Amino acid sequence: MAMCSNSDAWCWPIQPRRLRAIPRLLPPISEATRQPRPPSRRFDRSSQQRSPHHHQESAMKVGFRFLATVALPALLAGSALADNTIKIGNIVATSGTLKGVAEPAVVSADIAVAEINAAGGINGKKVELVRFDTGSDPKQASVGARKLIQDDGVLAILGPFSSGEASVAFNDGERLKVLMMPNSASTPGLTDNRNYAWRLTEDESKQFTRMLNSLKAHGVKMDKAAIVYISEEVVSNASGTKLYPMIFDKLGIKYDPPIPVQYKSFDMSAQAAQILQANPDIVAIAALPESASKVIKELRRQGYKGRIIGSQIFADPNVVELFGPEGEGVIMAASFWKGFSPRAQAFNDTFVAAAEKRGIHKLGAHHSDAQTYDTLFLMKQIMEKAGVTGDPSKLSAERQAVADQMKGVTFSGILGNNICFAGHDAELPGYVIEIKDGKWTKYDEAPADPCK
């Protein structure tokens, strides 16, 4: 088993090619047909010499016996098992820049599949996840989509993880007519004018606006803002250069030109000094957790006392530890709150324990983890209504039937109840999170918008 990375071509998981059942080459040897063994003849080294091909022929005979008695039956059994499953593709990013936030989503996907299979699977068949790792490279997301669809025969695809990856891979899903649902992509308009791309995620603009409205309602001064973004991160760049300025303009918040920071930069002192000189009321950071942590710590080191805010990009419970004391008072938007329901709390606790067993330290589930979990249960719901069988001869028709079931669907899960879709995007509730007294706390919440 191997995972695809950007630097090499090894992939995980690669499904064994199915073998067709072959006719028996020889009739079974019964007692009636078994011939008596001729008397053994001792090999006389003085009078004979072994054929130069003797050892090769012996090895081939041993290999054939192994294939016939052990390997071939095992492979055929594996093929029969694969024919008896519902295959769902899973494009993941367990290496590269997205590893920190994307790798835990693998854990939540496995939890969902285990629960689905324990309850009888989909239409009586077990779910089989077929994975492809992009290494956080959007071009590899396209490669993965084609492999899962054309080589592995999946019915639908969970993933890719990010907006940058999804924007590329969606083109393959459209061309090959297979439902694709990314588990974290939140760039506005990503599914527009597409037939097979859907999202059980909330877009960045809506959650960021909800957070700003909440801060305003709580009396937080926001006359002037500074914007910092990571130039190499697709969603961070888009949020920092386009999304945040657009929303600030709508709300009448003044701001200076957004300040870029390189992902691999260790020294943020110049950018922090520039921000302090402008003396903004709030600093909006568009960055993944590790990069956001560097900016926050440098701002606090240089004496910035105002509010630091962020959208869903770094809304991970682990930032409580990552940001340290400098993170006190940081506000961010999220699409999942563990206290939403008993089932949400149970998932959060199961997820933390399962991640720890795999060596992944988590203080709680990120909304991407919850979205991964719920997306698989949504796929279960629509696949059952579509009556899928997993029969390879019906693959094309069943793929279309699954995609068709998304039209007008409503869904209840750990993200919310009676979730509907406006266009191809889910309408989810929003949560405003604050790091308070060193803990991940709910500052405010907003209900999901109605679907039109």
- Report pLDDT digits (tens) over 318-351: 999 999 999 999 999 999 999 999 999 999 999 9
**Cis, peptide link before residue 447, omega less than 30° from 0:** no
Cβ 351 vs Cβ 365: under 8 Å: yes
**Do the strands 282-286 and 307-310 form a parallel or antiparallel pair, or are they unpaired?**
parallel
Cα–Cα distance measured from residue 160 to residue 234, given in angstroms and rounded to the nearest whole number? 14
pLDDT tens figures, 349-370: 999 999 999 999 999 999 999 9
- The top-scoring range by mean pLDDT among 37-46, 78-87, 371-380 is 371-380
Each residue of 14-48: pLDDT tens digit?
Answer: 343 333 343 333 333 333 333 444 444 443 433 44
Main-chain phi, psi angles of 106, to 5 degrees: -65, -40
Of 9-13, 105-109, 111-115, 173-177, the one with minimum mean pLDDT is 9-13
Residue 75 has pLDDT above 70, yes or no: no
| 419: amino acid identity, one letter | I
> Distance of alpha carbon 309 from its chain centroid, rounded?
25
Residue 361 — φ and ψ, nearest 5°? -80, 120
Tell me the C-alpha distance between 225 and 211, whole Å.
Answer: 14
Q: Which amino acid is it at 330?
A: V
**Quick one: how far is CA 404 from the chain centroid?**
23
Q: Please provide the distance, in angstroms rounded to a whole number, between the alpha carbons at the two ends of the chain.
A: 45
Q: Averaged over 114-130, what is the pLDDT?
A: 98
Q: What average pLDDT is seen over the chain?
A: 85
Average pLDDT over residues 245-252: 97
What pLDDT shows up at residue 83? 63
Query: Domains in the chain, ordered, with CATH?
Result: 83-201+340-419 (3.40.50.2300), 205-334+434-446 (3.40.50.2300)
- Residues in Cβ contact with 205 at an 8 Å cutoff, skipping those fewer than 6 apart: 188, 243, 246, 247
Determine phi and psi for 43, rounding to 5 degrees.
Answer: -80, 125
Tokens of 425: 């995007």
Q: How far apart are CA 46 and CA 374, in angstroms?
A: 77
Whether the predicted pLDDT of 58 surpasses 70:
no
* Nearest in space to 404 (alpha carbons), one of 166, 179, 199, 183: 179
**Structure pTM?**
0.80
